[in-house]
């Protein structure tokens, strides 16, 4: 079946939307050495899933899906801001702050899942009833994702979120660029580094929640690292880096779809695999050019 078949179209468009969101953000993530932040926020979002389950939003209805997304988004933004605050109080050691929030949020998520699980009855063979089965389905979807489950509602939400994030990035591009390259002197030029850093973390949290809908928690972080990391090996000029990052993200999504469809592999991991190959190719070309220049 062609990836442009009507049955695949919502999934493809949702994947392209997530790629378009992650591509420019990944450049700032790599520049600021925040590659672990995607892992931190995406895994922290699991705590939000646990909150949603305890509150009873474990079904597959529209209301449950909306409430799950809202709760996970709020939890993720809160986790990003806590990471920022802990990083400032720990002499800028964001890696430590990310590890703390990641561990605590994952532990909270699993504990809340067990609490939600214990609230439902089991039959004499220990099998779950009702919402309990839905909870297992929610956990599986959040962790591993299934892009082929994307529908048109997800497409429109992804597009709207993408417009919001890309507009915010464009509007604040000068501050973000200044903060990315020379944070210590930001205050001297009227750029509030803490506020700018918090803005980026909030945008990252929103993008992670969107990516989770497509590839799940485990793979969401890759969309915030691979395109930017590859692009920075292909150019030293920021506009070109942004273009390369977007091309790698979008191209990797299309090729990942084609590879997954042809090989009967999961689509999400296939996209990440293609982008990983693109990174290795960019790294190899960069080293080859450096070798030629030195000879």
Its domain, for residue 271, covers: 9-287
208 occurs within a structural domain: yes
227, 22 Cβ separation under 8 angstroms? yes
pLDDT cut 90: percent of the chain above it:
28
| Higher pLDDT, residue 109 or 62 | 109
User: Could you report the per-residue pLDDT of 149-183, keeping only the tens digit for each?
Assistant: 888 888 898 899 999 999 999 999 989 988 888 77
165 occurs within a structural domain: yes
C-alpha 245/C-alpha 131 separation (Å) is 41
Q: What is the mean pLDDT of residues 84-111?
A: 82
129-134 long-range contacts, Cβ below 8 Å, gap at least 24? 131/56, 131/58, 131/59, 134/58, 134/59, 134/60
Q: What is the mean pLDDT of residues 52-77?
A: 80
294 occurs within a structural domain: no
Domains: count for the chain:
1
278 occurs within a structural domain: yes
**Distances from the Cα of 145 to the Cαs of 105, 170, 267, in angstroms?**
19, 30, 10
4 occurs within a structural domain: no
At residue 20, the pLDDT reads 93
293 occurs within a structural domain: no
45 occurs within a structural domain: yes
pLDDT over threshold 80, residue 128? no
pLDDT over threshold 90, residue 226? yes
Average of per-residue pLDDT values in the chain: 82
At residue 123, the pLDDT reads 46
| Higher pLDDT, residue 95 or 290 | 95
pLDDT over threshold 80, residue 285? yes
pLDDT over threshold 70, residue 115? yes
Rg (CA), the chain: 20
Q: What is the CATH number of the domain that holds 198?
A: 1.10.3470.10
C-alpha 207/C-alpha 141 separation (Å) is 17
167 occurs within a structural domain: yes
């Amino acid at each position: 079946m062609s990836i442009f078949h009507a049955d695949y179209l919502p999934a493809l468009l949702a994947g392209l939307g997530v790629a378009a969101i992650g591509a420019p953000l990944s450049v700032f993530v790599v520049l600021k050495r925040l590659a672990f932040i995607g892992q931190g926020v995406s895994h922290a979002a699991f705590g939000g899933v646990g909150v949603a389950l305890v509150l009873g939003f474990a079904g597959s209805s529209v209301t449950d899906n909306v409430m799950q997304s809202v709760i996970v988004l709020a939890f993720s933004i809160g986790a990003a801001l806590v990471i920022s605050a802990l990083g400032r109080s720990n002499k800028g050691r964001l890696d430590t702050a990310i590890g703390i929030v990641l561990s605590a949020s994952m532990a909270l998520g699993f504990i809340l899942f067990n609490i939600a699980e214990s609230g439902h009855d089991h039959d004499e063979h220990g099998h779950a009833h009702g919402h309990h089965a839905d909870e297992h389905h929610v956990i599986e979807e959040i962790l591993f994702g299934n892009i082929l489950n994307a529908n048109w509602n997800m497409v429109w939400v992804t597009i709207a979120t993408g417009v919001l994030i890309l507009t915010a990035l464009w509007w604040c591009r000068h501050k973000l660029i200044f903060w990315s390259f020379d944070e210590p002197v930001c205050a001297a030029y009227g750029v509030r580094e803490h506020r700018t850093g918090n803005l980026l973390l909030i945008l990252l949290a929103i993008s992670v929640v969107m990516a989770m809908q497509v590839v799940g928690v485990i793979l969401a972080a890759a969309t915030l690292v691979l395109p930017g990391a590859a692009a920075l090996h292909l150019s030293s000029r920021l506009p070109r880096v942004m273009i390369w990052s977007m091309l790698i993200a979008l191209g990797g999504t299309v090729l990942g779809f084609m590879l997954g469809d042809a090989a009967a592999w999961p689509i999400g991991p296939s996209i990440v695999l293609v982008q990983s190959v693109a990174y290795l190719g960019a790294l190899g070309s960069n080293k080859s050019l450096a070798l030629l220049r030195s000879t």
